[in-house]
A and B are shown apart, each in its own frame.
Chain A
Amino acid sequence: MNLFKIIYSGKDQYLDLAESMVKKIIEEKGRDAQVKFPSTAYSLPVIYAITGEKISTTGELEKALELAKEFIHEGNRLQDALDAGTASAMLAEIIEAVKYTMEEEPYKAPLQGHLTDAQIRAFGVPLVTQDIPGVAVIIGKCKDSETAAEIIKDYQAKGLLTFMVGEVIDQAIEQNVKMGIDLRVIPLGYEIESVIHVVSVAIRASLIFGAVEPGDFEAHKKYTKDRVKAFVNVFDDWDDKIIAAGAAAIELGFPAVTETFINEVPTLLLHQPNNEKVVETSLEVRNIKIKVTKIDIPVGVASAFEGERIRKND
Chain B
Amino acid sequence: MSHEVLEFDGISTGLLEKGKADGAETIWDRQAAMKAKCGFGDKGICCRICAMGPCRISPVEGKGAQRGLCGATADTIVARNFARMVCGGASAHSDHARDIAHVMHIANKEGNYKVKDVGKLMNLAKEWGVNTDDREPNDIAHEIAEIALNEFGKPFGVQRLLVRAPEQRQKIWKDLKIEPRAIDREIATLMHSTHIGCASDAESILDLCMRTSLADGWGGSWIGTELSDIMFGVPTARGTEANLGVIEENMVNIMVHGHDPSFSEMVVLAAEDPELLALAKEMGAAGINLVGMCCTGNEVTMRHGVKIAGNFYQQELAIMTGAMEAVMVDVQCIFPALAKLADVYHTQFISTSPKAKMEGSIYIEFEEDHALDICKKIVRGAVENFKNRDKEKVMIPEAKNSAVVGYSVETVIQHLDKVVNSQTDVFNTVKPLSDVIWAGVLRGAVGIVGCNNPQVEHDKSHITIMKELIKNDIIVVTTGCAAQAAAKAGLMTMEAKELCGRGLKEVCERVGIPPILHMGSCVDISRILDIVSRVAIERGLDNSDLPVTGVAPEWMSEKAVSIGTYVVSSGINTYLGVTPQVTGSEYFVDLLTNKLEEKVGAKFIFEEDPVECARLMMEDIEAKRDKLGI
Task: Please judge, given known A-B contacts A78-B502, A266-B510, A281-B424, whether A2 and B630 are in contact too, CB under 8 Å.
Answer: yes
B362 to A: closest C-beta gap in Å = 52
Query: A293 interface residue, CB < 8 Å from B?
Result: no
- CA separation between A284 and B630, bound complex, in Å? 27
**The one of A264, A267, A277 that contacts B510, using a Cβ cutoff of 8 Å:** A267
Task: Please judge, given known A-B contacts A263-B630, A266-B436, whether A77 and B503 are in contact too, CB under 8 Å.
Answer: yes
> Using Cβ atoms and an 8 Å threshold, which residues of chain A touch B423?
272, 277, 280-281, 284
Query: B245 interface residue, CB < 8 Å from A?
Result: no
We find that the number of chain A residues with CB closer than 8 angstroms to chain B is 28
- Residue interface bits A75-113, CB-to-B below 8 A is 1, else 0: 011110110000000000000000000000000000000
> Using Cβ atoms and an 8 Å threshold, which residues of chain A touch B425?
266
Q: Are A77 and B443 in contact (CB under 8 A)?
A: yes
Q: Are B421 and A78 in contact (CB under 8 A)?
A: no
Query: B333 interface residue, CB < 8 Å from A?
Result: no
Q: Are A78 and B419 in contact (CB under 8 A)?
A: no
- CA separation between A60 and B439, bound complex, in Å? 36
Give the total number of A-B pairs whose CB atoms are below 8 A apart. Answer: 78
> Using Cβ atoms and an 8 Å threshold, which residues of chain A touch B424?
264, 270-272, 277, 281
Query: A3 interface residue, CB < 8 Å from B?
Result: yes
- CA separation between A190 and B559, bound complex, in Å? 64
- Residue interface bits B490-534, CB-to-A below 8 A is 1, else 0: 000000000001110010001000000000000000000000000
> Using Cβ atoms and an 8 Å threshold, which residues of chain B touch A271?
424
The residues in A between 121 and 137 inclusive whose CB is less than 8 angstroms from any CB of B are none
- CA separation between A268 and B421, bound complex, in Å? 10
Q: Are A263 and B435 in contact (CB under 8 A)?
A: yes
A211 to B: closest C-beta gap in Å = 25
> Using Cβ atoms and an 8 Å threshold, which residues of chain B touch A82?
502
The residues in B between 424 and 473 inclusive whose CB is less than 8 angstroms from any CB of A are 424-425, 427, 432, 435-436, 438-441, 443, 472-473
B149 to A: closest C-beta gap in Å = 38
Q: Are A78 and B501 in contact (CB under 8 A)?
A: yes
Minimum CB distance partner of A80 in chain B: B502
Of listed B432, B436, B622, residue having the most chain A CB within 10 A: B436
The residues in B between 551 and 579 inclusive whose CB is less than 8 angstroms from any CB of A are none
B505 to A: closest C-beta gap in Å = 9
- Residue interface bits A272-298, CB-to-B below 8 A is 1, else 0: 100001001100110000000000000
Query: A176 interface residue, CB < 8 Å from B?
Result: no
Task: Please judge, given known A-B contacts A1-B630, A77-B501, whether A311 and B506 are in contact too, CB under 8 Å.
Answer: no
> Using Cβ atoms and an 8 Å threshold, which residues of chain A touch B419?
266-267
B418 to A: closest C-beta gap in Å = 9
Q: Are A78 and B503 in contact (CB under 8 A)?
A: yes
- CA separation between A272 and B427, bound complex, in Å? 16
A127 to B: closest C-beta gap in Å = 24
Minimum CB distance partner of B471 in chain A: A77
- CA separation between A295 and B188, bound complex, in Å? 76
- CA separation between A76 and B501, bound complex, in Å? 11
> Using Cβ atoms and an 8 Å threshold, which residues of chain A touch B435?
263-266
- Residue interface bits B194-206, CB-to-A below 8 A is 1, else 0: 0000000000000
> Using Cβ atoms and an 8 Å threshold, which residues of chain A touch B438?
3, 263
Query: B417 interface residue, CB < 8 Å from A?
Result: yes
A38 to B: closest C-beta gap in Å = 36
Query: B629 interface residue, CB < 8 Å from A?
Result: yes
A61 to B: closest C-beta gap in Å = 29
Q: Are B439 and A265 in contact (CB under 8 A)?
A: yes
B40 to A: closest C-beta gap in Å = 45
Query: B2 interface residue, CB < 8 Å from A?
Result: no
Q: Are A284 and B473 in contact (CB under 8 A)?
A: no
Q: Are B421 and A270 in contact (CB under 8 A)?
A: yes
The residues in B between 119 and 164 inclusive whose CB is less than 8 angstroms from any CB of A are none
A222 to B: closest C-beta gap in Å = 12
- CA separation between A2 and B628, bound complex, in Å? 9
- CA separation between A271 and B423, bound complex, in Å? 10
**The one of B416, B421, B439, B443 that contacts A284, using a Cβ cutoff of 8 Å:** B421
- Residue interface bits A1-42, CB-to-B below 8 A is 1, else 0: 111100000000000000000000000000000000000000
> Using Cβ atoms and an 8 Å threshold, which residues of chain B touch A79?
501-503
Q: Are A3 and B443 in contact (CB under 8 A)?
A: no
Q: Are A284 and B502 in contact (CB under 8 A)?
A: no
Q: Are A77 and B417 in contact (CB under 8 A)?
A: no
Q: Are A266 and B630 in contact (CB under 8 A)?
A: no
Query: A269 interface residue, CB < 8 Å from B?
Result: yes
Minimum CB distance partner of B622 in chain A: A76
The residues in B between 387 and 435 inclusive whose CB is less than 8 angstroms from any CB of A are 416-417, 419-425, 427, 432, 435
Q: Are A313 and B439 in contact (CB under 8 A)?
A: no
A265 to B: closest C-beta gap in Å = 5
Q: Are A313 and B510 in contact (CB under 8 A)?
A: no
B511 to A: closest C-beta gap in Å = 8
**The one of A76, A311, A312 that contacts B440, using a Cβ cutoff of 8 Å:** A76
**The one of B501, B506, B629 that contacts A2, using a Cβ cutoff of 8 Å:** B629
B179 to A: closest C-beta gap in Å = 35
Q: Are B622 and A266 in contact (CB under 8 A)?
A: no
A271 to B: closest C-beta gap in Å = 7
B498 to A: closest C-beta gap in Å = 13
**26 A-B residue pairs with CB within 8 Å:** A2-B630, A76-B622, A76-B625, A77-B443, A77-B502, A78-B440, A78-B441, A78-B473, A78-B503, A79-B501, A263-B438, A263-B630, A264-B439, A265-B439, A265-B441, A266-B421, A266-B425, A266-B435, A267-B421, A269-B439, A272-B424, A280-B423, A281-B424, A284-B423, A285-B421, A313-B427
Given contacts A76-B443, A284-B423, A312-B422, 4 further A-B contacts (CB under 8 A): A3-B438, A77-B443, A263-B435, A264-B435
Considering the complex of A and B, which 9 residue pairs feature the smallest CB-CB distances, nearest first? A78-B503, A266-B419, A79-B502, A281-B423, A312-B422, A266-B432, A265-B439, A78-B502, A264-B435
